[in-house]
Structure 1
Amino acid sequence: MNAQQQQICAALLENGIDAKLAAVAVLPDIVAVDDWIAIPTPSIPGRPARLQLVAPRDVPRRRNLASREGRFALLHALAHIEFNAINLALDAVCAFPGLPAQYYADWLHIAKEEAAHFAALRRLLQVMGGEYGELPAHNGLWEMAVETADDPLKRMALVPRVLEARGLDATPPIRARLQALGDTEADAVLAVIEAEEIAHVAAGSYWFRWLCAARDLNPDTHFFTLLDRHYRGRPGGVFAEPARLAAGFSEYELQRLRDRAQEGCAGG
């Protein structure tokens, strides 16, 4: 492990919020990867000690965004996603040696943008008199990181192209609700996140397809093989199709996702 990889892994394992943001801010844009080694994905990444992880059903609901509690719960949940996204990008750099230098540059850039997203949401929480870590959250994003720790192909397919792509679907209706409430500040933060997350998912799509080509796999069909093998449940609801197309999904993939969502609804 060279000094740059040590620096990135230290940022991944940093628990303190301010310390992690500071560590990410000074990470290099380009790394020398000749002596990169595989660093096992940690079962527990760096995150605030006060953060309580619970089952998804026990996460505070956020239906009434007109209330302070509902708005805070929503922004806290979004901040939790972005904090996890920092760790996911850093782990994508640390865990998988032997890839092109551009792969590492892409995920370092993404880690810095995820840190900026988290910082912007955290400021909204602070304006409301709170802080990230005050409410329980679930660990689904990191559980998928652990499940895909053995293979960058699986990681690119199932984290950016499944879990993070769901954020592309969820953001437009959230923004519409915030706009209806006149919360222009939160909406402006989400507008930036929405635009940049398309590029993050697109990076996942690019490297997923690159790895499929290197292994002589059909990316369109292999994506669904991995989805069936590793993803619990069925991606459903309304898909943000223009955003997904911009993020590297093919028309074939979108049609299969639509079909699977309809099958899930038909099956109850």
Structure 2
Amino acid sequence: MSSNETTLVEAALRVLNTPDPVDKAKLGDQIANHWLQGLITNPYNPSQPDLIVPDRPARLTNVKLVSPSLMPKLGKAGSLQSRQAIVHSLVHTESWAIDLSWDIIARFGSKQESMPREFFDDFVRVAQDEGRHFTLLAARLEELGSFYGALPAHDGLWDSAVATSKDLFARLAVEHCVHEARGLDVLPTTISRFRNGGDNKTADLLEEVIYPEEVTHCAAGVKWFKYLCSRTRGDNADEESDDDAVNKFHEVVRSYFRGPLKPPFNEKARKAAGFGPQWYEPLAVKDFSQ
């Protein structure tokens, strides 16, 4: 790992092929530091064919997977059982977020995509954050008397990763501007529920560490989606007011995301991430009873 002969894409594949999420987080943190410190210098080797990225990352089998429709209700954090279930769900989500962050680097970090170095910098930082989130939440889950794998979970997040595996526009839009943004919508309520349930330690972790960093993760998706739109047009127009990017976003989400987006939206956090209501409100369900 300390050798300059290793590319970032090769290192990302090591994370994806590591089954234990604890090891994934540790290895990912090491790789991120090496990249950001300049110990890994090249994102990929342009003289070699693109490396094969696994359709599904290596995962331990200690988590019982069920259909999203069969997941038990998490509750509202009023009981220890509910708090354990919510944190377990968050730990599982973060375990997949580690893989998703390294997957976008490995899958789209090639000469064919020709993304600038800043793209790799941004998603390395996202991956490092997700690993830290997993580690902190897994430790908190154990403090609550449970452990990762004690409850069932679903892999719906990776299903959308598979659906967007051939299109960087789609991956950025669905994973980082839909799923990540949905996390911004629901986290404030989750934090309030933990506080109301008397669990300020979990609430503080979510509010002071995870929530603000998730804003930056969503911002990375918005930023690079706009970049792709601008590059496709071949100009340097002001992307913040770019109707073409908004229209492209609507087109991609309708093609790759099943169903409408669910309000209410966290407009403040979404604005901080770089996109306003014109991006997502036209994609929302109009009738809240649906």
Same fold (TM over 0.5): yes
* Structure 2 counterpart of 1:265: 288
* Structure 1 counterpart of 2:45: 35
Amino acid at match of 1:53: L
Indicate whether 1:194 and 2:216 are aligned: no
* Structure 1 counterpart of 2:239: none
Q: Deviations over 1:39-78 (max 9, x none)?
A: 4543321322212221111122111422222111100111
Q: Deviations over 1:184-210 (max 9, x none)?
A: 110011111110000000000000000
1:34 offset after TM fit, Å?
A: 5.1
* Structure 1 counterpart of 2:249: 223
Calculate the TM-score normalised by the size of structure 1: 0.92
Indicate whether 1:163 and 2:175 are aligned: no
Amino acid at match of 1:7: A
Amino acid at match of 1:61: K
CA distance in 2, matches of 1:60, 1:29: 40
* Structure 2 counterpart of 1:3: 6
> What percent identity do the matched residue pairs reach?
31
* Structure 1 counterpart of 2:238: none
CA distance in 1, matches of 2:93, 2:44: 32
Q: Deviations over 1:115-160 (max 9, x none)?
A: 1111111011111222112211111111111111112111111100
Question: CA 1:193–1:82 in structure 2 vs 1: closer, same or farther (change >3 Å)?
Answer: same
Contact 1:41-1:149 at 8 Å conserved across structures: no
* Structure 1 counterpart of 2:92: 80
* Structure 1 counterpart of 2:143: 127
Equivalent position SS for 1:29: helix
1:220 offset after TM fit, Å?
A: 0.3
Amino acid at match of 1:232: R
CA distance in 1, matches of 2:172, 2:53: 14
Structure 2 residue runs without a partner (length 5+)? 234-242
Indicate whether 1:69 and 2:81 are aligned: yes
Structure 1 residue runs without a partner (length 5+)? none
Aligned length: 263
Equivalent position SS for 1:95: helix
* Structure 1 counterpart of 2:24: 20
Supply the RMSD in Å over aligned alpha carbons. Answer: 1.8
Contact 1:46-1:87 at 8 Å conserved across structures: no
Q: Deviations over 1:154-174 (max 9, x none)?
A: 111110000111000010111
Contact 2:173-2:225 at 8 Å conserved across structures: yes
CA distance in 1, matches of 2:278, 2:77: 36
Amino acid at match of 2:130: E
Amino acid at match of 1:69: Q
